[in-house]
Amino acid sequence: MLTTESKIMRLDEAVLQVADWQRSQQRVVFTNGCFDLVHLGHIDYLEKARAHGDRLVLGLNTDASVGRLKGPLRPVVDEYARARLMAALSFVDTVILFDEPTPKELIEALKPDILVKGDDYSVETIVGADFVLANGGEVKTIPLVKGYSTTSLIEKIKQSY
């Protein structure tokens, strides 16, 4: 039986899994993020990312990485819980935690067919886009659902309670 924990992989495991999928002609999509306090915007984004290929690999920032990006009070939800939550989504096939400032090393190791980010980025500013394009892949941006962000959710909770 496939479990949420079995979908959380080390990089070396994920490299083998992605290569296996690609050998069987499956198109692998990669995206990344913090995914702290999962909300509709996250679900919509990931669902649309997966629609671009056959498999979705998610690079998930570690707690230390989220703290460096978002500040010392973040994340609200720890990395183990965030990884299990992401792995529980039917359209996420693999979750890989990463601690580096960017997912560049993951992208170069995994060699995804399609790299996806939200439309708050342009192709020119997406980390790893040059590598994916140079290797014959595609880079896509997905429209974000307006009004949904973890930061705004935290503010709403703070104001209400």
Segments of 46-154 assigned E as strands: 55-61, 94-98, 114-118, 138-142
The predicted-structure confidence for 10-41, as pLDDT tens digits, reads as follows 999 999 999 999 999 999 999 999 999 899 99
At 1 the pLDDT is 67
H or E element in which residue 4 lies: none
Tell me the two tokens of residue 87.
């792995």
Whether residue 27 contacts residue 113, with contact meaning beta carbons closer than 8 Å, is answered with yes
Domain boundaries, position 12: 5-160
98-to-5, 39, 61, 79 alpha-carbon distances in Å: 16, 21, 5, 10
3-class state of residue 16 by DSSP: helix
Positions of the chain with pLDDT lower than 50, given as ranges: none
Share of the chain above pLDDT 70, in %: 99
CATH number at residue 113: 3.40.50.620
Beta-carbon count within 10 A of 129 CB: 20
Whether residue 132 contacts residue 138, with contact meaning beta carbons closer than 8 Å, is answered with yes
Judging by beta carbons within 10 Å of its beta carbon (0-12, 13-18, 19+), is residue 64 exposed, middle or buried? exposed
The count of domains in the chain is 1
Question: From CA 34, how far away is CA 126, in angstroms rounded?
Answer: 16
